Structure 1
């Protein structure tokens, strides 16, 4: 769209195609005035479309449709990206979508959003590796660095890459606390301690948004999953019906709210409530997105949040991933109610956007039936438009495709990501191995290992062995469930026996990717060096194994000593497993001894919450 020049010389985008500069097109006016003018021009159907946040699953490189049904027919302008092409193609896709949006009656620009793309996790629902972005560790690894300045620097670099391709909303970070060790999404959190998590969240949001106020250089953060998804019954995930209940046997909801309060005070622009039912909290026992107690009572009134609330995705309609699998609706606690009543409950809970929904008629029908007023709809649309204006999308939603290809994955940002990966590595026990000899490796690229010695095929021919492992989990049926590492945290007995034999034959270094707090009891005595990583390149791990670099990270959670201890712990209470093998903050925190007294009820035993973190003064 070409810029026009107002008679006083002001350049503007003629979004409604009438040749004059309307107040909402005037870049000189305050955002509130522009929002008010645009809102007054919108039909109910146009307002309802803004309250739908759709998904785009596949961007076929080089194929640009003449129209998008969701954009052209319905007017939806908010989309979560799933699979993505390379940065140049993605940037051109953004510009094409913006052209489609600009051709509509009011020219409201598209806002593109994304789940995390800068780590190592690959999950079809919650984390993606497509797009060519620079890699750091998982967010739990950012916490392991305990370095707020480094986290802010990496977050700012990640935001620059996202902006370069047109992504302006980060559907992250997670403010959930990792108090239930079995939960499959711990890798996306900042750990078990509310103080450390709060500090990391503030740094992360500062890096993405650039401050408490959004601007044209911001990527807005959508913090999730309010009021906290980490306290989930038996560690099961609420993407699935058997994981729909939260669990608060310790009455510890306020502890889980602390990181959210920190994120809100840091100015996070948007919030996503979770799917789960906050059982045992005294609040209504329906999913958080439908829950007025949660969203109005806590988020709006107690915490004073007036930003956008977007539901977790596909509450009402479920979701099918093409060629992959199908999930049902995740309307936990209200499944028995008619769809119209579920919509009314969402709106009564002050939800602004319906994640994954592309049916604005649901909202239109709610108004026409008298279930809600148009004034209520206006309040949500005002918040949604405000963020579009603050992000500068009304004035310039386009990106430079050539610049995107140069910036995304550039050497400087990749190097920064590698620095953060390395800084997150944790030495659990042992000392480096001598380099220069014969090396046997498992789950390590031979080409990377060749820089440290001669790679051999059999352990009996080696002077040293290096094995990389993922944290244990239970294999479950279904493609979508397979992406969630849940269940037991213990290695199978036969695997431990195999590794002990390997360690007896040759000095053995083992690095375990701690996407969850694995039980490592059977590995401690059989290894010469035991490391924890949170997503790291092979050569960075090998640098530590062979003494070229030090592991300076610290555990962002306790590592339990057994599954029995996990099963007997309370889901909502931090540091609640009896006699943990390694403590939060290790290696600076002392390792507990096997005969240490439990002390759970008093909270003073070796596995109780560290005193230093009680008021957010964590180990850094």
Structure 2
């Protein structure tokens, strides 16, 4: 066992601590110090009330407007979803500024998740690009469009780590890996907030869900999560810490219970971790109705008790429900809550409103006609979509297609403008969406080259009446392009699936198409990995397109016809079937690790054989020990070779840097981009360590025959983990290192970290 020697120094990811920022923060705190003593308890509590505008009719809205006048509303969500007041953003804000006791502006929030009206790929699809700059740009565009209407706060990024594709909300995540989710979550946060959140087209981000939501049992939404503290700290918390270090302004607590305590009242998460250890100074918002849901959880007796628990735990902003306004004044009088805690919560709220510059720019930024769905934004969405596509199979280089190829375009999602937008698209509209069929017609410019037969009307359709027509179209074509998967409604909040195979009769239709003998390209649009079954073998080419957003069609044409080479890589592990779940690449080793030859597959076990004859190792007899596709996997139209692994620092002291490099060469016939990945393994630790952990990646674009030396510099702090005492440490010892194209391959080397400080 290694001797524990060094506490890991925290990594600083942000540059917000400039002298100017400190001066601005001092001025803000001084303004709050002047304002707070002039507010009544009722007005303070009012700052903690987040109303859902979409829930009110005209009569109720008049009551809410009076609450604004009385200083009892802090903000609204979903304002744009009601037709009660066409100018609601401006009119509500005008009441708050001109008629409330202190003129404190409202904050308007909304789920701007992967675009506002210009819809980008779902977050899981964006994560497949492994491109922080692209993700930051997408968030920046979403912020520009949303702020034009007056929305200055978004409930994103969602940086829950999830290892269960049954969970509907995996579509909103950035995948299974804490390093990748941290890098991409920071990029999204910066895109929303910019370096100056006070500018009118910036919006506050809200990282969610704090914490452990992605570990819901059985992949069922809202379900309980049980996470050991070390796993919580090493896997689920790092993306949140990285976002906070990058200047994140708000946090949303989670629906689930974490180790039997609802996240909405989890003092360990909201106080110990968030405030005391990390020093977070923004505000915490509950999820929608989550305060009241502690009653069915069996944690709160009634609404008053729920308010007491949430407020004392550190939830500042109560979303939708009204327990704070109804009960906090009485709880203060009863000594069950304090005005000191109330002041702290209000300070959090006012601080963020001031950092957003809401006093200086309270009204919508305007100029929406020049911003929303602009050509620039649509082009950015097109680029983001095509970089999200993951090519999973390309037998005999079937792709890219030749432009004179006669295509049978088949499948329920080949011309589905709404479904391609994906989950959480409150402002997205199918009329602005560009599906594959018209994009293909425009690209080829010759209708005789395309025969379109949906075969199924929607993804869950079980009727086979149109199969013969689809088969006939396939027989008369040179190549079949099948576009299927899941409708958008099958993923997202509350939409978990126990069976993640293709729904409806899609598998039967694909089998019929494959039996024609014509080359088959299968394109999947879905919010999660899909159990492929025989589809992988039946398809000569297979591509995961997720739900790609507004510009799905043109982006698919770009990639299918080789205008660009696919470059997406899986941000999660793709299971063979539900029985492998949870499945993730950075798992711990067992005492009996599986290999390809230390067990017998189920179909080959002899009848009546001795118990141990088939072998005893950590595997499934029917699925084996490998997934359908590993984390980080993805093909291009180029071919890449890796050679000449060099670890310049075979021995490095604590506090030093490991320098490693390899030569990557494009041995194919077309220019392409490779995503070179760096993995490490701590061979022996005071707690068992993962078999591999992603610690870096670089994008390398190479022409045919071109090569490049790709270098990585890894500080020993990046090797830290939480030991048995929950101290974050880098332990001296031996490590494996891989420079690889995915988590299951690569050039392997070794290095040693010593106890000596440099």
Fold match by TM threshold 0.5: yes
Asked if the contact 1:471–1:489 (Cα under 8 Å) also holds between the matched residues in 2, the reply is no
Asked if the contact 2:264–2:291 (Cα under 8 Å) also holds between the matched residues in 1, the reply is no
1:110 is aligned to 106
2:502 pairs with 1:491:
yes
Give the Cα separation in 2 of the matches to 1:140 and 1:173: 11
1:508 is aligned to 520
Asked if the contact 2:388–2:568 (Cα under 8 Å) also holds between the matched residues in 1, the reply is yes
2:249 pairs with 1:269:
yes
Give the Cα separation in 1 of the matches to 2:484 and 2:182: 29
Work out which of the residue numbers 233, 245, 258 in structure 1 matches 2:217.
233
2:36 pairs with 1:36:
no
Give the Cα separation in 1 of the matches to 2:122 and 2:740: 20
By relative contact order (CA 8 Å, sep 6+), the higher-ranking structure is 1
1:434 is aligned to 402
Work out which of the residue numbers 262, 268, 277 in structure 2 matches 1:287.
262
1:96 is aligned to 91
Give the Cα separation in 1 of the matches to 2:452 and 2:310: 60
Question: Structure 1 residues 67 and 503 mapped into 2: Cα distance closer, same or farther (>3 Å)?
Answer: same
Give the Cα separation in 1 of the matches to 2:172 and 2:67: 31
Choose 578-587 or 373-382, whichever is displaced more. 578-587
Question: Structure 1 residues 364 and 144 mapped into 2: Cα distance closer, same or farther (>3 Å)?
Answer: same
Question: Structure 1 residues 517 and 389 mapped into 2: Cα distance closer, same or farther (>3 Å)?
Answer: same
Question: Structure 1 residues 303 and 619 mapped into 2: Cα distance closer, same or farther (>3 Å)?
Answer: farther
Aligned residue-pair number: 540
Work out which of the residue numbers 276, 296, 313 in structure 2 matches 1:349.
313
Report Cα offsets for 1:24-82 as digits up to 9, x if no partner: xxx99921121122211111111111111121217999xx9797244245620311116
Report Cα offsets for 1:199-222 as digits up to 9, x if no partner: 001111111111387655531111
Question: Structure 1 residues 574 and 268 mapped into 2: Cα distance closer, same or farther (>3 Å)?
Answer: farther
Give the Cα separation in 2 of the matches to 1:290 and 1:572: 30
Q: State the 1:474 CA deviation.
A: 11
1:382 is aligned to 347
TM-score (norm 1): 0.78
Give the Cα separation in 2 of the matches to 1:573 and 1:69: 55
Q: State the 1:137 CA deviation.
A: 0.7
Give the alignment of 1:88-237 within 5 angstroms. Answer: 92-102=87-97, 103-119=99-115, 133-211=117-195, 216-237=200-221
Q: Secondary structure at the match of 2:481?
A: strand
Give the Cα separation in 2 of the matches to 1:548 and 1:216: 37
Asked if the contact 2:150–2:365 (Cα under 8 Å) also holds between the matched residues in 1, the reply is no
Q: State the 1:470 CA deviation.
A: 2.5
Asked if the contact 1:456–1:462 (Cα under 8 Å) also holds between the matched residues in 2, the reply is no
Asked if the contact 1:314–1:330 (Cα under 8 Å) also holds between the matched residues in 2, the reply is no
Asked if the contact 2:295–2:302 (Cα under 8 Å) also holds between the matched residues in 1, the reply is no
Give the Cα separation in 2 of the matches to 1:108 and 1:194: 38
Question: Structure 1 residues 202 and 619 mapped into 2: Cα distance closer, same or farther (>3 Å)?
Answer: farther
Please tell me whether Structure 1 or Structure 2 has the larger radius of gyration of its CA atoms: 2
Question: Structure 1 residues 294 and 307 mapped into 2: Cα distance closer, same or farther (>3 Å)?
Answer: same
Asked if the contact 1:509–1:545 (Cα under 8 Å) also holds between the matched residues in 2, the reply is no
Work out which of the residue numbers 275, 278, 292 in structure 2 matches 1:300.
275
Work out which of the residue numbers 64, 77, 80 in structure 2 matches 1:80.
77
Report Cα offsets for 1:381-412 as digits up to 9, x if no partner: 011011111111112201254x1222122111
Give the Cα separation in 1 of the matches to 2:346 and 2:196: 21
Asked if the contact 1:46–1:75 (Cα under 8 Å) also holds between the matched residues in 2, the reply is yes
1:257 is aligned to 237
Work out which of the residue numbers 321, 330, 335 in structure 2 matches 1:370.
335
Asked if the contact 1:49–1:74 (Cα under 8 Å) also holds between the matched residues in 2, the reply is yes
Q: State the 1:469 CA deviation.
A: 2.0
2:591 pairs with 1:579:
no
Q: State the 1:93 CA deviation.
A: 2.5
Give the Cα separation in 2 of the matches to 1:499 and 1:465: 10
Question: Structure 1 residues 493 and 203 mapped into 2: Cα distance closer, same or farther (>3 Å)?
Answer: closer
Give the Cα separation in 2 of the matches to 1:381 and 1:423: 42
Report Cα offsets for 1:328-366 as digits up to 9, x if no partner: x35464445233222211122122111222351222221
Give the Cα separation in 1 of the matches to 2:56 and 2:382: 28
Q: Secondary structure at the match of 2:581?
A: helix
Q: State the 1:154 CA deviation.
A: 1.9
Report Cα offsets for 1:535-582 as digits up to 9, x if no partner: 221232233223333211111111111221126x58995999941111
Asked if the contact 2:113–2:155 (Cα under 8 Å) also holds between the matched residues in 1, the reply is no
Asked if the contact 1:251–1:572 (Cα under 8 Å) also holds between the matched residues in 2, the reply is no
Q: State the 1:492 CA deviation.
A: 5.7
1:599 is aligned to none
2:407 pairs with 1:411:
no
1:547 is aligned to 562
Identify the structure with the greater strand proportion: 2
Question: Structure 1 residues 331 and 538 mapped into 2: Cα distance closer, same or farther (>3 Å)?
Answer: farther
**RMSD across aligned C-alpha pairs, in angstroms?**
3.7
Asked if the contact 1:426–1:551 (Cα under 8 Å) also holds between the matched residues in 2, the reply is yes
Report Cα offsets for 1:218-258 as digits up to 9, x if no partner: 311111111231111111111xxxx2x10337962121111
Q: State the 1:428 CA deviation.
A: 0.7
Report Cα offsets for 1:468-509 as digits up to 9, x if no partner: 223499979xxx97x514322223695323312212313221
Q: Secondary structure at the match of 2:353?
A: helix
Give the Cα separation in 1 of the matches to 2:741 and 2:28: 42
Asked if the contact 1:112–1:168 (Cα under 8 Å) also holds between the matched residues in 2, the reply is yes
1:522 is aligned to 534
Give the Cα separation in 2 of the matches to 1:618 and 1:311: 41
Asked if the contact 1:433–1:507 (Cα under 8 Å) also holds between the matched residues in 2, the reply is no
Asked if the contact 2:220–2:496 (Cα under 8 Å) also holds between the matched residues in 1, the reply is no
Report Cα offsets for 1:394-447 as digits up to 9, x if no partner: 12201254x122212211112111111111111110133333324232221343
Give the Cα separation in 2 of the matches to 1:396 and 1:258: 34
2:449 pairs with 1:449:
no
Asked if the contact 2:198–2:358 (Cα under 8 Å) also holds between the matched residues in 1, the reply is no
Give the Cα separation in 1 of the matches to 2:62 and 2:78: 17
Q: Structure 2: which 5+ residue stretches go unaligned?
A: 1-23, 416-436, 454-472, 590-617, 620-624, 640-682, 685-689, 697-713, 720-738, 743-758
Give the Cα separation in 2 of the matches to 1:76 and 1:105: 12
